[in-house]
Structure formats: structure tokens, C-alpha cells
């Protein structure tokens, strides 16, 4: 299996529960390739690359600290595998523009980021590059979020078209594995996201976690400590369900309904449980960030494993195209 991460900033609880935990578990089941999609970061961020290198290091530190294991999995950086770019070139030749122009993610981006010049050929070809990422290592299973399903569909179409054109199956047709993780709410009740500025990051310390948890919206009708509350409409309760042991969650619900629990204490308990969960990640990340050369070594070792695999795929494709 293979999946990629764009280096766009620190990871938060939404990433952890939505995707990283299930990818950590996949390492017990199959051979995993994880990579940092730094070329993809250029598709929208080509104008300002000042923090690209540090974003890449931070992402690798986040991922490894959260449990992606360089001893068992191949962790690398896209731009260190030039074969991806060559495969991208061949796939670009055969991909009809219409497929890319119809891509809902691209259309949405053009609407949302209309102030920046992102209508470039590279950005339009984002799914072609993604196909090259997957195919270069014979990726079969691609764990992704729902937003990536259109890209995976395009990848499958490109692989099929290549086989059709050259009369033989040259690449593996990938399947999307929809990440089964939970949807995590930010303190404004919306989905946790960096762009909504409502995120608790994996390296927030217990004080920061408490400050952020204090901002969560609760049951608006529970004003005083002994007012009964409705856990089912409270986003603090929704977070308890994700971070608090099941027995304790029952107690939270019962006490809330009975008016035996105040929101201040309820939030403090939640913050404590979140910190318990992320403290080991924060510590591991901090120690990695203090040794940037260790992070560089991880991706260099990963590139050492990925490169021969990629070269092999490329040879097959070149032969198939008769180059
Ligand atoms: N597009 C993915 C995202 O934004 C990142 C990505 C790039 C990727 N190449 C990939 C994911 C290949 C899976 C497979 O999250
Ligand atoms: Fe929400 Fe807890 Fe307050 Fe009940 S006591 S409303 S669950 S924060």
C-alpha cells in the first residue's frame, strides 16, 4: 500500500484519528510506502517556498512520532525519486485534458483560491502526478480521505488507458481504501482543520490543549453547574467519545444529564485525556526536531529502498511505450 502527505504544516488530532492511526495499523498487515508529496506542495505553493524544507522535516517528524515506523515501512520524499517525474511525463502524454478539467477538486480550488495564480499546467495535472506516485512503486491499495476519491478514480482511468494504448497492462490499477477514521470536531463545532483555525496539534503541550478545549461549544442551555445538560448536542462530549475510556464516557453522560457535572470540570477531564494521548507523540517529535539530520537520514534510507523499485517500473513502461 502507499499513501502520500502534502507538507502543509503541523498535524492535528483530525489527521491522527482520521488517517494516521489506521495507517499505523496497516503496517502490521502489509508492506507500506509513505511519502512526503513535496512536488504536490508546489502546485499551489510555488510562489513561496521559504518554509518548504522545514515543513517537510516537520511532517516526517510528526508522522514518525505518531507511529509510522521507518524500520518497517518505506518513508521517503517524492522529490528524491526523479523516476516519478519521468513517469508523470509519460502519463501526461496520454491523459485527456477533459479528465483533468472535470476534476471537482480542481474546480473548487479555482473558485476558492481565485486571488492567486494557481491555474497552472502543473496544478491541473495534480492527479496525473498523483497517479505517477502510486504507480511508480506498484501501489495497489491507497488509503485516502473522501476528498481524494476523484483523484483515485482518475488514476485508475489513466492506468487503464495506458494498458489499452500499448496493448498490455504496464501498471497496477490502484484501489482507494477509504480511511475509516473518526471525524474530529474543532472548538467551533466545525470539522477540525488548519484553515478553520480550530485545531489541536499533536505537539500542543497540556497547557495549550486545556486552553483550546476551554473554547469548545457545549450545551448552550446548561449555564450553571447543576443545570442538566444534553451530551448529544455537546462537542465536548463528542470529543470525550474519542479520547476518554468507554466506562468514563458513560459516567460523563450520566452526570451531565443529571446536572452532577459542570462544564469546566468536564473540559478539564477531556483536556487531560487528550494530553495523555498526545504527550508521547509530542515528546518523540520534539526529540526528532532537535536532530534534523536524523529526519534527513530516515527519508534518505527510504529513497534508497524506493529508487530501485521505481527504476524497475520505469523500465517496464519505457519498454511498453517502445522508447
Ligand atoms: N493528494 C493527496 C492529499 O492531498 C496527497 C497525495 C499525493 C497522495 N500523492 C498521493 C495520496 C498518492 C495518496 C497517493 O492528501
Ligand atoms: Fe458538555 Fe460536559 Fe458540559 Fe455536559 S457537562 S454539556 S458533556 S461539557
Residue 30's pLDDT is 95
Residue 317: name the closest of 180, 166, 192 by CA: 166
C-alpha cell at 151: 483523484
- Atom 13 of ligand 1 has which residue's CA nearest to it? 3
DSSP for residue 172: P
Residue 190 lies in a domain: no
Give the Å distance between the CA of 219 and the centre of ligand 2: 7
Same domain for 271 and 137?
A: no
**What is the number of domains present in the chain?**
2
Residue 193 lies in a domain: no
Strand, coil or helix: what is 87?
helix
CATH classification at residue 212: 1.10.240.10
Q: 269 is in which domain, residue-wise? A: 206-284
Nearest ligand 1 atom to the CA of 6 is 5
Residue with cell 467519545: 241
Nearest ligand 2 atom to the CA of 262 is 5
CATH classification at residue 180: 3.40.50.620
Same domain for 12 and 127?
A: yes
Residue 224 lies in a domain: yes
Same domain for 123 and 149?
A: yes
d(CA 237, CA 252): 8
d(CA 190, CA 235): 10
Give the Å distance between the CA of 3 and the centre of ligand 1: 6
Same domain for 106 and 223?
A: no
Nearest ligand 1 atom to the CA of 130 is 9
Q: Is the C-beta atom of 288 inside 6 A of ligand 1? A: no
Long-range contacts from 104-111, C-beta under 8 angstroms, 24+ separation:
104/150, 105/147, 105/150, 105/151, 109/44
Same domain for 32 and 10?
A: yes
Residue 279 lies in a domain: yes
DSSP for residue 30: S
Same domain for 173 and 248?
A: no
For the entire predicted model, the pTM comes to: 0.92
Residue 80 lies in a domain: yes
Give the Å distance between the CA of 6 and the centre of ligand 1: 7
Same domain for 118 and 255?
A: no
Nearest ligand 1 atom to the CA of 2 is 14
Residue 147's pLDDT is 86
Residue 140's pLDDT is 96
Residue 116's pLDDT is 77
Same domain for 177 and 249?
A: no
Per-position DSSP letters for 199-257, written without gaps between them: --BTT--HHHHHHHHHTS---TT--STTS---GGG-HHHHHHHHHS-HHHHHHHHHHHH
Same domain for 87 and 175?
A: yes
Same domain for 306 and 234?
A: no
- Atom 8 of ligand 2 has which residue's CA nearest to it? 263
Residue 201 lies in a domain: no
Q: Is the C-beta atom of 58 inside 6 A of ligand 1? A: no
Residue 28 lies in a domain: yes
Same domain for 101 and 249?
A: no
Nearest ligand 2 atom to the CA of 222 is 6
Residue 7 lies in a domain: yes
Mean pLDDT by 10 residues, the chain (323 residues): 94 94 95 97 92 96 98 98 98 98 89 81 96 97 92 98 94 91 88 92 97 96 93 96 96 96 96 97 96 96 98 97 95
Same domain for 158 and 73?
A: yes
Residues with CB under 6 A from ligand 2: 218-219, 222, 229, 231, 234, 236-237, 252, 256, 261, 263, 266-267
Which residue of 5, 18, 37, 44 sits with most ligand 1 atoms within 8 Å of its CB, as the best mutation to test the pocket? 37
Amino acid at each position: 500500500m502507499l499513501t502520500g502527505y502534502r507538507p502543509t504544516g503541523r498535524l492535528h488530532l483530525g489527521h491522527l484519528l482520521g488517517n494516521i492511526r489506521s495507517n499505523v495499523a496497516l503496517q502490521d498487515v502489509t508492506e507500506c510506502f509513505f511519502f512526503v508529496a513535496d512536488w504536490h506542495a508546489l502546485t499551489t505553493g510555488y510562489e513561496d517556498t521559504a518554509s518548504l524544507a522545514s515543513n517537510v522535516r516537520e511532517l516526517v517528524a510528526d508522522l514518525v512520532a505518531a507511529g509510522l515506523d521507518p524500520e518497517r515501512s518505506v518513508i521517503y520524499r517524492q522529490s528524491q525519486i526523479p523516476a516519478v517525474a519521468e513517469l508523470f511525463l509519460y502519463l501526461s502524454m496520454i491523459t485527456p485534458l477533459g479528465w483533468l478539467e472535470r476534476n471537482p477538486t480542481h474546480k473548487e480550488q479555482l473558485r476558492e483560491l481565485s486571488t492567486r495564480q494557481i491555474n497552472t499546467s502543473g496544478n491541473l495535472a495534480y492527479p496525473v502526478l498523483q497517479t505517477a506516485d502510486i504507480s511508480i512503486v506498484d501501489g495497489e491499495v491507497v488509503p485516502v480521505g473522501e476528498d481524494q476519491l476523484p483523484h483515485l478514480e482518475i488514476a485508475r482511468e489513466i492506468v487503464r488507458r495506458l494498458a489499452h494504448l500499448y496493448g498490455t497492462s504496464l501498471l497496477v490499477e490502484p484501489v482507494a481504501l477509504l480511511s475509516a477514521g473518526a471525524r474530529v470536531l474543532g472548538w467551533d463545532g466545525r470539522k477540525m482543520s488548519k484553515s478553520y483555525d480550530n485545531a489541536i496539534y499533536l505537539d500542543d503541550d497540556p497547557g495549550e490543549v486545556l486552553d483550546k478545549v476551554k473554547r469548545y461549544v457545549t450545551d448552550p442551555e446548561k449555564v450553571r453547574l447543576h443545570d442538566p445538560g444534553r451530551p448529544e448536542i455537546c462537542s465536548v462530549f463528542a470529543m470525550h467519545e474519542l479520547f476518554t475510556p468507554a466506562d468514563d464516557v458513560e459516567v460523563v453522560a450520566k452526570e451531565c444529564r443529571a446536572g452532577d457535572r459542570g462544564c469546566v470540570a468536564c473540559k478539564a477531564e477531556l483536556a487531560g485525556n487528550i494530553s495523555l494521548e498526545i504527550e508521547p507523540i509530542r515528546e518523540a517529535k520534539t526529540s526528532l526536531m532537535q536532530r534534523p539530520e536524523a529526519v534527513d537520514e530516515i527519508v534518505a534510507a527510504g529513497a534508497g529502498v524506493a529508487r530501485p523499485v521505481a527504476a524497475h517500473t520505469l523500465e517496464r513502461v519505457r519498454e511498453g511505450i517502445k522508447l
